[in-house]
Amino acid sequence: MQLTNRPPLRGALSALTAALLGTGAAASEGRNRVESSILLYSEVDRVQAAEAIIGLGRALKGDRMLSARLTLDGLTGASPNGATPSARVQTFTRPSGEGGYSVKPGEIPLDDTFKDTRYSFDGSLAQPLDRLTTIVLGAHYSGEHDYTSLGASVGLSRDLNRKNTTLSASAAYSRDRVRPEGGPPDPLSSMSARADDDDDDDAGERELAAQDDDGDDDDDEDRESDAGEGKNVYDVVFGLTQVLNRQTVLRLNYSYNHSSGYLNDPYKIVSVVQGPGGPDAGEPVDYLYEARPDGRAKQAVFAQLRRYLSGHTIDLSYRYFWDDWGVTSQTVELFYRLPVKAGHALQPHVRWYRQTEADFYRVFLVEAAPAPAHASADYRLAPFHAVTAGLQYLFPVGQGVQVSLGGEYYHQAGDISPPRSMGVLSTYELFPDMDAVMVRAGFDYEF
């Protein structure tokens, strides 16, 4: 009988690396681990995405653990641009500033030009400092055509009380850079003015080239716009994991995330509509690029309880989230692992989520009303709730190889007709329900 049957690497280290970087690949001493997961995500009439992750873990001398993770994802389809529906055909400038796209009367405007590929690499090294303390150092890089992120992290964990308690603290910093197509638009500037500006700029540059011999300034300007806009992100997470009894483990986390710099979504706009007194109340007269504050502090407390019940495993978690943009949210998630036969298991899963709106969330702005300092019509800053329900089947296919196949359904519902809507807008769905289907497959091999 193995009295010290603790899971040294798969448990403690994977907990810490996962907390640090989400790199869950961990192997028992002297072994390697390869795991992979593929997700296909499909929204009805909107975005389609495919995402694949491969994680490698290798146990090195002296209980050190090296982990690497490569993520690739591809995205295509249509995403709401933030504008409200109209009784007329609406035409929008494409993000590049060249050409446009039209939206039929009564439809929620979707920008169908989204197409992106993102890849990211995470690496970490876990090093025991003594029998009870481990330090994890990590690095991260990700890139897509208009966004890059480079970061580093450090984490410490310490076991107490005969390893029934684990305390952890980790911190991360990342420097992100946004290079929107067509350059970052000025916040709250008119979309049509920008299209005109682009034409003017071209003409201006030609004029300068013809009559101005001071070309250096132009080059500097070009370089600045090429470099895009920056964003600094700081993260800290404090965690406590506690064995409560022979079948139950509890985890409590507090996380703080601070970002500053360019936090706008450069592709989102807000409609400016005619006021209630006008003949075309609710009809758009202009579209402005959104403007968000240049700082955001997000905090969350998270509690997770896992319990073993005569062969079954229940994992229940709750998160309370708040930030200084006025968003608060609650998330409840439940996984139930049900053994079917030797090594095979079914895992149903439900998730419930509800959020309040950001202070500056505006479905639209009204013509001639005082302009706000910040405004965004991004549906992700709106008040809504969401439900996910899914099922996963887990089974072994050989020595050390575990496979999982599953599917999930995600439903998002908000305020179809917000109280502030008026005129023609009150006849349209301003926050249509969003439905998505996810299919996933995973494998995990230890050798």
Partner 1 sequence: MRRLRFFVLSAGAFALAAVLSGCAAVGVQVWERDVLSKPEMQMDSHALDRALDDHIYFSKEASSGGRSFGGGGCGCN
What is the footprint of partner 1 within residues 325-354 (CB under 8 A)? 325, 327, 329, 331, 337, 345, 353
CA 151 to chain centre: 16
Pairwise CA distance, residues 368 & 390, whole Å: 48
List the beta strands (DSSP E) in 1-132. Answer: 32-43, 48-59, 65-80, 90-93, 100-103, 110-128
Q: Does 124 help bind partner 1 (rule: CB under 8 A)?
A: no
Closest CB to partner 1 among residues 248, 417: 248
CA neighbor of 430 nearest in space, from 416, 420, 412? 416
What is the footprint of partner 1 within residues 418-447 (CB under 8 A)? 438, 440, 442
Pairwise CA distance, residues 394 & 139, whole Å: 31
Site string for partner 1, 286-315 (x = CB under 8 A): ------------xxxxx-x-x-x----x--
DSSP string across 135-158: EEEEEEEEEETTEEEEEEEEEEEE
> In the bound complex, what is the minimum distance in angstroms from residue 107's beta carbon to partner 1?
19
Pairwise CA distance, residues 377 & 287, whole Å: 11
Closest CB to partner 1 among residues 249, 273: 249
Q: Does 75 help bind partner 1 (rule: CB under 8 A)?
A: yes
Expressed in angstroms, the distance from the first to the final Cα of the chain is 23
**Contact with partner 1 (CB under 8 A) among 102, 131, 161, 213:** 161
Cβ atoms of 85 and 110 within 8 Å: the answer is: no
Sheet with 365-366, edge to edge strand ranges: 284-289, 269-273, 365-366
Q: Which of 10-18, 124-132, 183-191, 364-372 is the region at the interface with partner 1 (rule: CB under 8 A)?
A: 10-18
What is the footprint of partner 1 within residues 138-157 (CB under 8 A)? 140, 142, 144, 146-147, 149, 151, 153
Q: Does 265 help bind partner 1 (rule: CB under 8 A)?
A: yes
Pairwise CA distance, residues 77 & 193, whole Å: 26
Cβ atoms of 252 and 237 within 8 Å: the answer is: no
Pairwise CA distance, residues 90 & 33, whole Å: 53
The total number of residues shown for the chain amounts to 447
Closest CB to partner 1 among residues 181, 205: 181
Closest CB to partner 1 among residues 120, 426: 120
Pairwise CA distance, residues 408 & 388, whole Å: 7
Pairwise CA distance, residues 185 & 205, whole Å: 19
Q: Does 58 help bind partner 1 (rule: CB under 8 A)?
A: no
> In the bound complex, what is the minimum distance in angstroms from residue 282's beta carbon to partner 1?
26
**Contact with partner 1 (CB under 8 A) among 34, 39, 285, 437:** 39
Pairwise CA distance, residues 256 & 175, whole Å: 17
Q: Does 374 help bind partner 1 (rule: CB under 8 A)?
A: no
DSSP string across 72-90: EEEEEEEEE-SPPP-SS-E
> In the bound complex, what is the minimum distance in angstroms from residue 218's beta carbon to partner 1?
28
Cβ atoms of 140 and 122 within 8 Å: the answer is: yes
Q: Does 20 help bind partner 1 (rule: CB under 8 A)?
A: yes
How many residues touch partner 1 (CB under 8 A)?
A: 105
Q: Does 32 help bind partner 1 (rule: CB under 8 A)?
A: no
Q: Which of 186-194, 207-215, 256-264, 272-280 is the region at the interface with partner 1 (rule: CB under 8 A)?
A: 256-264
> In the bound complex, what is the minimum distance in angstroms from residue 429's beta carbon to partner 1?
18
**Contact with partner 1 (CB under 8 A) among 33, 251, 292, 362:** 251
Q: Does 363 help bind partner 1 (rule: CB under 8 A)?
A: no
What is the footprint of partner 1 within residues 187-226 (CB under 8 A)? none
Q: Which of 99-107, 242-250, 270-278, 287-295 is the region at the interface with partner 1 (rule: CB under 8 A)?
A: 242-250
CA angle 120, 74, 18 (to 5 degrees): 35
Q: Which of 69-77, 204-212, 219-227, 362-370 is the region at the interface with partner 1 (rule: CB under 8 A)?
A: 69-77
- Per-residue HEC secondary structure of 297-329 comes to EEEEEEEEEEEEECCEEEEEEEEEEEECCCCEE
Q: Which of 163-171, 182-190, 198-206, 208-216 is the region at the interface with partner 1 (rule: CB under 8 A)?
A: 163-171
Q: Does 159 help bind partner 1 (rule: CB under 8 A)?
A: no
> In the bound complex, what is the minimum distance in angstroms from residue 91's beta carbon to partner 1?
21
Closest CB to partner 1 among residues 353, 424: 353
Closest CB to partner 1 among residues 7, 30: 7
> In the bound complex, what is the minimum distance in angstroms from residue 276's beta carbon to partner 1?
29
Task: Give the pairing of strands 165-178 and 344-355.
Answer: unpaired
